[in-house]
Amino acid sequence: MWYAHEGMGWWMLFGGLFWLSFVVLIAWTAFQLLHRDLSDRADSIEQVKARYARGEIDRDEFQRIVQDLTQTAPASRSPAKGDRR
């Protein structure tokens, strides 16, 4: 009466393609976000190198900025002596 013997037919193929497309979209989005973060970080380091080369910042400031940019998890910095926030 309900034609249950025919199974899911073409809907099974379309459902599988939908979920496969969905998983690929999620993976592609994650890759793009991670890749953009890495390229942004590299661009920032290049800008700091250019500022150092032009003499806008000194060596200590250059090293501090590069260290801050290359750290994966930002560490909380203690305030400088005399800094009252």
3-state secondary structure of 2: coil
pLDDT of residue 85: 43
4 secondary structure, DSSP code: G
This prediction's pTM: 0.41
3-state secondary structure of 60: helix
User: pLDDT tens digits for 32-82?
Assistant: 887 776 667 778 888 999 999 999 999 999 999 889 888 864 444 555 555
- Span 1-25, average pLDDT: 76
Closest by CA position to 45, among listed 53, 35, 75: 53
